[in-house]
């Protein structure tokens, strides 16, 4: 039985062939174009989740689809024993947007990018220095080390014990960060804006303190830009809102506009600690994924997607603040959350979907919005009218 069949016949859900780790999705999406998606009944939705900040250039972007199709007919994968056509140009573009002077490693997902960053920090720091300090509320992925790095103890508990070497401090608490750094620490690893934790931008002072402490104690200052990177926040990378330069940057989500590809950038002097054989990935940086990424980066530069993220964010933040039940709006560019006046986020997201709008209840009281950065002003208006109607008829439980 297929997932679709199982969903069409709820009494048969026991026979669904997919594991239950994602719960039981109630909508089966089959097609997309820009900010619109359609389900298997032909119902249209405006997608303000955007594949969780992945679909920055919109669903089924025709130029990215064409680049993938051409490359799929040419060369898909040959292992990393040989060089291929697009990896170096993609690495050069990433390096240019990160200030230059670095090198890039390609892999396939955000968690994998973070895993490699942790290995890189250990190799760079030398034996005896292996610790990584992150913030409470942070999210870095689901593999074991990435999970240990997440500052969300409830996610650790079912899989304990966690790999050693990870500790956490309160976001924006520079004093706690200073205390948490020990002789065995190799790196500080921060999301400039916590995404899965609820869309919480770091303060300017905290990011500056992290950089300064890393310099003082001879540690790496690493940023997890898996969600925030590549135009999402209205800069190419979110750390660029802060007056700091990281040593290592992890990126993923938007790089392939949905085609799996991730990357780790490091300053050349950091990457220099690696020797052949230290790390690898069978699929990492394959010709198909890098063809997609090359086209994505070309479009982002050509169409000023950074500028579009800013104007989209301004319009969206203004509209969200006016909604019924809205208490505050936070975030940057096209990565926003609206805090509501009660624990209604889940019910609102479910009712919004019924009305044809997809939004993400990131906490019991907040909705996260990460639409494609190409979303038009008319689509924002339509989405906010839908959400306004839903909120207008939702009551906060007593």
Ligand X SMILES: Cc1ncc(COP(=O)(O)O)c(C=O)c1O
Shortest Cβ 197–ligand X spacing (Å) = 9
Q: Residue 273, Cα to own-chain centre: how many angstroms?
A: 27
Other beta carbons less than 10 A from residue 229's beta carbon: 31
Nearer to ligand X, 18 or 321 (CB): 18
Q: List C-alpha distances in Å: 2 to 5, 15, 21, 32.
A: 5, 9, 17, 21
Q: Is residue 141 within the footprint of ligand X (CB under 6 A)?
A: yes
Q: DSSP string spanning 245-283?
A: --SEEEE-GGGGTTS--EEEEEEHHHHTT--TTS---SS
Applying CB under 6 A, which part among 93-101, 137-145, 299-307, 339-347 lies near ligand X?
A: 137-145
Per-residue x/- mask for ligand X, residues 166 to 205, rule CB under 6 A? -------------------------x---xx---------
Other beta carbons less than 10 A from residue 268's beta carbon: 11
Per-residue x/- mask for ligand X, residues 246 to 275, rule CB under 6 A? ------x-----------------------
Shortest Cβ 140–ligand X spacing (Å) = 5
Applying CB under 6 A, which part among 104-112, 123-131, 268-276, 320-328 lies near ligand X?
A: 104-112
Nearer to ligand X, 143 or 167 (CB): 143
Other beta carbons less than 10 A from residue 254's beta carbon: 31
Among positions 109, 135, 202, 286, the unique one binding ligand X when judged by CB under 6 A: 109
Q: Is residue 226 within the footprint of ligand X (CB under 6 A)?
A: yes
Residue burial 308-320, b: 16+ Cβ < 10 Å; e: rest = bbbbbbebbbebb
Nearer to ligand X, 38 or 283 (CB): 283
Nearer to ligand X, 59 or 129 (CB): 59
Other beta carbons less than 10 A from residue 172's beta carbon: 17
Residue nearest to ligand X (CB): 110
* Rg of the chain taking only CA atoms, in angstroms: 21
Shortest Cβ 341–ligand X spacing (Å) = 27
Among positions 110, 258, 334, 361, the unique one binding ligand X when judged by CB under 6 A: 110
Shortest Cβ 117–ligand X spacing (Å) = 10
CA dihedral 208, 333, 316, 29 (to 10 degrees): -120
**Which residues does 336 contact at the CB level (< 8 Å), separation at least 6?**
199, 313, 316, 317, 320, 329, 330, 368, 369, 370
Q: Is residue 140 within the footprint of ligand X (CB under 6 A)?
A: yes
Q: Is residue 139 within the footprint of ligand X (CB under 6 A)?
A: yes
- Measure the CA–CA gap between 395 and 25, rounded to whole angstroms: 24
Segment 30-69, which members bind ligand X (CB under 6 A)? 52
Phi, psi of 32 (to 5 degrees): -150, 160
Shortest Cβ 256–ligand X spacing (Å) = 11
Nearer to ligand X, 84 or 109 (CB): 109
Q: Is residue 224 within the footprint of ligand X (CB under 6 A)?
A: yes
Residues in a beta bridge with 187: 132, 220
Nearer to ligand X, 131 or 229 (CB): 229
Nearer to ligand X, 52 or 321 (CB): 52
The CA-CA-CA angle for residues 362, 380, 230, to 5°, reads 65
Shortest Cβ 110–ligand X spacing (Å) = 2
In the chain, the N- to C-terminal Cα span, in Å, equals: 42
Nearer to ligand X, 286 or 326 (CB): 286
Contacting positions for ligand X (CB under 6 A): 52, 109-111, 114, 139-141, 191, 195-196, 224, 226-227, 252
């Amino acid at each position: 039985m297929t997932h679709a069949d199982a969903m069409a016949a709820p009494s048969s859900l026991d026979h669904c062939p997919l594991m239950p780790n994602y719960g039981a999705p109630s909508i089966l999406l089959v097609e997309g174009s820009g900010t619109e998606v359609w389900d298997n009944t032909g119902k249209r939705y405006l997608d303000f989740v955007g594949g969780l900040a992945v679909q920055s250039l919109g669903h089924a972007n025709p130029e990215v689809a064409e680049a993938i199709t051409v490359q799929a007919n040419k060369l898909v994968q040959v292992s990393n024993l040989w060089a291929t056509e697009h990896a170096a140009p993609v690495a050069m573009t990433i390096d240019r947007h990160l200030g230059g002077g670095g090198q890039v490693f390609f892999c396939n997902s955000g968690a994998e990018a973070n895993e490699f960053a942790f290995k890189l920090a250990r190799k760079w720091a030398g034996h005896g220095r292996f610790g990584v300090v992150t913030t409470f509320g942070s999210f870095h992925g689901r593999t074991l080390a990435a999970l240990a790095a997440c500052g969300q103890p409830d996610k650790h508990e079912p899989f304990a014990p966690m790999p050693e070497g990870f500790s956490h401090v309160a976001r924006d608490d520079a004093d706690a960060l200073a205390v948490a750094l020990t002789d065995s620490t190799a790196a500080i690893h921060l999301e400039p804006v916590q995404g899965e934790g609820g869309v919480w931008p770091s303060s300017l002072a905290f990011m500056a303190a992290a950089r300064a402490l890393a310099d003082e104690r001879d540690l790496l200052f690493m940023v997890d830009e898996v969600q925030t990177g590549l135009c999402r926040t209205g800069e190419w990378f979110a750390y660029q809102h802060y007056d700091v330069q990281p040593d290592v940057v992890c990126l993923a989500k938007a790089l392939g506009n949905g085609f799996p590809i991730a990357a780790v950038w490091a300053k050349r002097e950091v990457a220099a600690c690696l020797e052949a054989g230290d790390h690898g990935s069978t699929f990492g940086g394959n010709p198909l994924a890098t063809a997609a990424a090359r086209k994505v980066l070309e479009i982002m530069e050509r169409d000023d997607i950074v500028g579009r993220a800013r104007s989209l964010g301004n319009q969206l933040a203004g509209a969200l603040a006016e909604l019924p039940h809205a208490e505050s709006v936070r975030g940057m560019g096209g990565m926003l959350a609206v805090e509501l006046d009660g624990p209604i986020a889940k019910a609102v997201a479910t009712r919004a979907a019924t009305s044809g709008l997809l939004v993400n209840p990131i906490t019991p009281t907040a909705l996260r919005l990460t639409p494609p950065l190409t979303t038009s002003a008319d689509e924002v208006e339509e989405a906010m009218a839908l959400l306004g109607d839903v909120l207008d008829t939702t009551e906060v439980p007593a």
